[in-house]
Amino acid sequence: MATASPGFFRSSIGKKVVMAASGAILFGFVIGHMLGNLQVYLGPEAFNGYAEKLRHLPALLWTARAALLVAVTAHIASAYSLTRTSQVARPVGYRQRESRESTYASRTMRWGGVIILLFIVYHLMHFTFGNAHPNFVPGDVFHNFVTGFRSPVVSGFYIVAMLALGLHLYHGVWSMMQTLGLSHPRYDHLRHAFATLVAVAVVLGNVSFPVAVLTGFIHE
């Protein structure tokens, strides 16, 4: 079986393939994470029980974490490398930039990625490690969820991060399908619809969490 040479992964096409493949892994995690968190609407017993089941599968949990770490590293590295290649290819900026072929989502991928990265770090410190959560109780995921989102500042940052994630997902899913060969002029409208559906579903699902706590719909 032929394997890709190291030179392929150093090329722009290779880097885009790495970005698409790592993005697909992260996309799967985002969907799975949201679906898991939606169990908070079933009440504290169901939500804590879901978290407890995950803790009783350490091999699966740590394998998933290792895969996510590799995927995030590869995604960031390929994005940075492609950005640097683009800057080197055109060191002088456009006198007047026209955005006929690009979307707002594509033009905000870089700063959106930075916001998402900062959010991931904070999110881990807030809900996983608890060192950024003033009322963190180890093992009581429902309590940590509710007391964490009671802060308007925390919820506001979470909502902004989810909006950035939505834009990132929309362009990312669109580009990923194109890079992996899942595009055709006749069916591009379906690719657009799928990317839009995914982005809207993730944003609405995740934004519903802080909103539900702030409005008292979810409470202890």
Dihedral (Cα; 37, 38, 42, 46), 10-degree rounding:
-30
Q: Is 167 exposed, middle or buried (0-12, 13-18, 19+ CB in 10 A)?
A: buried
pLDDT of 145 strictly over 70:
yes
In whole angstroms, give the CA distance from residue 20 to residue 28: 12
Q: What pTM was computed for the model?
A: 0.82
Q: pLDDT per residue over 157-216, tens digit each?
A: 999 999 999 999 998 888 888 777 777 778 788 888 999 999 999 999 999 999 999 999
**Mean pLDDT, rounded, for 77-102:** 62
Reported confidence tier of residue 94, pLDDT bands at 50, 70, 90: very low
pLDDT at 2: 46
Reported confidence tier of residue 1, pLDDT bands at 50, 70, 90: very low
Reported confidence tier of residue 8, pLDDT bands at 50, 70, 90: low
82 or 71: which leads in pLDDT = 71
93 or 167: which leads in pLDDT = 167
pLDDT at 126: 96
The mean-pLDDT minimum among 22-26, 75-79, 166-170, 173-177 falls in 173-177
Q: pLDDT per residue over 104-136, tens digit each?
A: 555 666 777 888 999 999 999 999 999 999 999
Are 168 and 109 contacting, i.e. CB atoms less than 8 angstroms apart?
yes
Counting residues of the chain whose pLDDT is more than 70, the rounded percentage is: 85
Radius of gyration of the chain from Cα atoms? Answer: 20
pLDDT of 79 strictly over 70:
yes
In whole angstroms, give the CA distance from residue 146 to residue 51: 15
pLDDT at 185: 79
70 or 82: which leads in pLDDT = 70
Q: How many Cβ atoms from other residues are within 10 Å of residue 188's Cβ?
A: 13
**Mean pLDDT, rounded, for 60-69:** 89
pLDDT at 98: 45
